[in-house]
């Protein structure tokens, strides 16, 4: 009893590990880690703009707040140093005729407030620079210019992060499973994809990559070897009219890597099918890419997708997303090889063949009868 439970638990763990071993998650994120990179991580600071855009929101907002608070406090210290050197602070007991570099700076707090007012151009009118110090005038100009740069960079990064096409890609969804069944008399692998917005993706193009481990004739083992998978719809695979859900399919012919797979051996295969959809967002003209993946457990042999589009009495077309990933069992050959052999056999039956060993023998019949 315990040995049976132990075997079941071990097989369950192996199954879980196999399910998690995928390069691309269902939502399109890549599961890859770089190790022993020879270049220093400071190389990412060379392309600081892309680095900032790729950061998560919590880190981006931390940098956003720290950039402004840090610059305000740094220049606040500099304004305090200017007031200290010029002896404008109350502890120096300045005379009545003393003209300070900056009016009404009495300490570090007031210097910080003046720095904030200068950089964000609020200007309450209570604190201001006088013509007494050239250092103060130069510092005012320098902070104003640097403040504009910081404001432009950080606000531009926030705006670019919000308007990235990656967010548009979240409104493109793929079916939970891929199915294999007959379509147009051919065995095909089918996937359903839908655009959740009414705005179109211009110039959409869809294709796939089959990732698997192969061994070359020279004995080299290639992990994540990529094989092109051509997907088409009835109108072609480019410039899709992507206003309603589409069912894309890959024809399993003799050139397909799925040709030698069967319904009984599909789950024993080790592959990952990654599907890509490229297009241009109609509203912003920015390009975006949507991707998902399917492992053998997510490919259903002998099923087709349930209907999803219908027409109402008012003449409108209605899309029922409740059936988006719903599948229906259909009669399907258990392998592509069997389907093509069956077609060839039927073609031979219709065509027919002559038997060269067949000889027609003539028989003489007599009509004599005895009375």
Residues 243, 297, single domain; the answer is yes
Q: Taking the complete model, does pTM exceed 0.85, yes or no?
A: no
pLDDT, tens digit (0-9, with 9 covering 90-100), for 185-205: 889 999 999 888 877 788 788
pLDDT at 175: 92
The Cβ of residue 55 has, within 10 Å, a number of other Cβ atoms equal to 15
Residue 43 has pLDDT above 80, yes or no: no
The answer to the question of residue 369 being in a domain is no
Pairing of strands 246-251, 186-195: antiparallel
pLDDT at 113 (0 to 100): 94
Confidence band for 9, pLDDT divided at 50, 70 and 90: low
Distance between start and end Cα atoms, the chain: 93
Q: Which residues contact 336 (CB under 8 A, 6 or more apart)?
A: 187, 252, 253, 256, 258, 259, 261
pLDDT at 65: 94
Within this chain, do residues 84 and 227 fall inside the same structural domain, yes or no? no
- Alpha helices, DSSP H only, in 21-125? 48-54, 57-85, 108-119
Evaluated on CA atoms 172, 176, 182, 187, the torsion sign reads positive
208 with 320, same domain: the answer is yes
Q: What percent of the chain has pLDDT over 70?
A: 81
Beta pairing partners, 282 = none
- Cα Rg of the chain, angstroms: 37
Residue 79 lies in a domain: yes
Q: Average pLDDT of 266-275?
A: 90
pLDDT digits (tens, 9 = 90+) for 107-160: 999 999 999 999 998 888 888 999 889 999 999 999 999 999 999 999 999 888
* 94 domain-assigned: yes
Is residue 40 in some structural domain? no
The mean pLDDT of 282-295, rounded to a whole number, is 85
Residue 50 is encoded by which pair of tokens? Answer: 């892309």
Tell me, yes or no, whether 192 and 237 share the same domain.
yes
Residues 91 and 238 placed together within one structural domain of the fold = no
Residue 288: pLDDT band (50, 70, 90) is confident
Residue 366 lies in a domain: no
Domain contains 114: yes
Q: Locate tokens 């910081």: which residue?
A: 150
> Could you tell me if 254 and 198 lie in one domain?
yes
Based on the domain organization, do 316 and 201 belong to the same domain? Answer: yes
When pLDDT is cut at 50, 70 and 90, the band that residue 371 belongs to is very low
Domain containing residue 103:
51-163
Question: Which pLDDT does position 84 carry in this prediction?
Answer: 93
Q: Is residue 42, in this structure, part of any structural domain at all?
A: no
pLDDT at 355 over 70: no
Backbone angles phi and psi of 223, in degrees to 5: -90, 140
Whether 358 has a pLDDT exceeding 60, the answer reads: no
197 shares a domain with 155: no
Q: Are residues 85 and 103 in the same domain?
A: yes
Tokens describing residue 26:
């269902």
Out of 29-38, 193-202, 259-268, 312-321, pick the least confident: 29-38
- List the single range of 22-26, 91-95, 107-111, 265-269 with lowest mean pLDDT: 22-26
Q: How confident is the model at residue 305 (pLDDT cuts 50, 70, 90)?
A: very high
Beta strands 186-195; 172-174: pairing state: antiparallel
- Rounded Cα distance between 256 and 259, Å, is 5
| The pLDDT value given to residue 233 | 82
Mean pLDDT of 215-220: 82
**pLDDT band at residue 220 using 50, 70 and 90 as cut-offs:** confident
CATH code of 57's domain: 1.10.287.70
Residue 300 has pLDDT above 50, yes or no: yes
Q: Which of 145, 163, 181 is the last residue of a domain?
A: 163
- CATH code at position 271: 2.60.40.1400
Asked if residue 123 and residue 97 are part of one domain, the reply reads yes
Q: Residues 141, 246: one domain?
A: no
How many separate domains does the chain show? 2
Beta pairing, strands 299-301 & 178-183: parallel
Residues 319 and 187 both lie in one domain:
yes
Closest to 157 measured CA to CA, from 282, 57, 11, 17:
57
Measured CA to CA, the distance from residue 180 to residue 263 in angstroms comes to 9
Q: How far apart are CA 233 and CA 249, in angstroms?
A: 6
Identity of the highest mean pLDDT range in 9-23, 53-67, 220-234: 53-67
Would you give the distance in Å from CA 335 to the centre of its chain?
Answer: 32
Strand-pair partners of 305 = 327
How confident is the model over 164-188, as a mean pLDDT?
A: 85
Domain membership of residue 371 (yes or no) is no
Q: For 121-184, what is the HEC assignment?
A: CCCCCCCCECCCCHHHHHHHHHHHHHHHHHHHHHHHHHHHHHCCHHHHHCCEEECCCEEEEEEC
What is the dihedral angle through the alpha carbons of 156, 160, 162, 168, rounded to the nearest 10 degrees? 170
**pLDDT (mean) for 69-92:** 93
Rounded CA gap, 236 and 50, in Å?
35
């Amino acid at each position: 009893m315990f040995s049976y439970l132990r075997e079941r638990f071990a097989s369950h763990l192996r199954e879980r590990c196999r399910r998690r071993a995928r390069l691309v998650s269902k939502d399109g994120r890549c599961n890859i880690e770089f190790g022993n990179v020879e270049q220093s991580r400071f190389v990412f600071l060379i392309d600081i703009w892309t680095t900032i855009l790729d950061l998560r929101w919590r880190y981006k907002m931390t940098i956003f707040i720290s950039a402004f608070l840090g610059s305000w406090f740094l220049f606040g210290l500099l304004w305090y140093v200017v007031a200290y050197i010029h002896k404008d602070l109350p502890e120096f007991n300045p005379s009545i005729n003393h003209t300070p570099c900056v009016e009404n700076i009495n300490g570090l707090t007031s210097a910080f407030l003046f720095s904030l007012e200068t950089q964000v151009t609020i200007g309450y009118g209570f604190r201001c620079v006088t013509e007494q110090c050239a250092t103060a005038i130069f510092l005012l100009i320098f902070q104003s210019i640097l403040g504009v740069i910081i404001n432009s960079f950080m606000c531009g990064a926030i705006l670019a992060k919000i308007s990235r096409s990656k967010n548009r890609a979240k409104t493109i969804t793929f079916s939970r499973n891929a199915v294999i069944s007959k379509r147009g008399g051919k065995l095909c692998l089918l996937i359903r994809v839908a655009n959740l917005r009414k705005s179109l993706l211009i110039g959409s193009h869809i294709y796939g990559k089959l990732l698997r481990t192969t061994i070359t004739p020279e004995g080299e083992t290639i992990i994540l070897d990529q094989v092109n998978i051509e997907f088409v719809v009835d109108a072609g695979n480019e410039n899709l009219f992507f206003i309603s859900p589409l069912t894309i399919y890959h024809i399993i012919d003799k050139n397909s890597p799925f040709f030698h797979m069967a319904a009984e051996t599909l789950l024993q295969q080790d592959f990952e099918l990654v599907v890509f959809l490229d297009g241009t967002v109609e509203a912003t003209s920015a390009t975006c890419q949507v991707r998902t993946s399917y492992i053998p457990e997510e490919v259903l042999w002998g099923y087709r997708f349930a209907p999803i589009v219908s027409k109402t009495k008012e003449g409108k077309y209605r899309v029922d997303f409740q059936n988006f990933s719903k599948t229906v069992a259909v009669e399907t050959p258990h392998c592509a090889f069997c389907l093509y052999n069956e077609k060839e056999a039927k073609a031979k039956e219709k065509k027919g063949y002559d038997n060269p060993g067949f000889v027609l023998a003539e028989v003489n019949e007599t009509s004599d009868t005895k009375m």
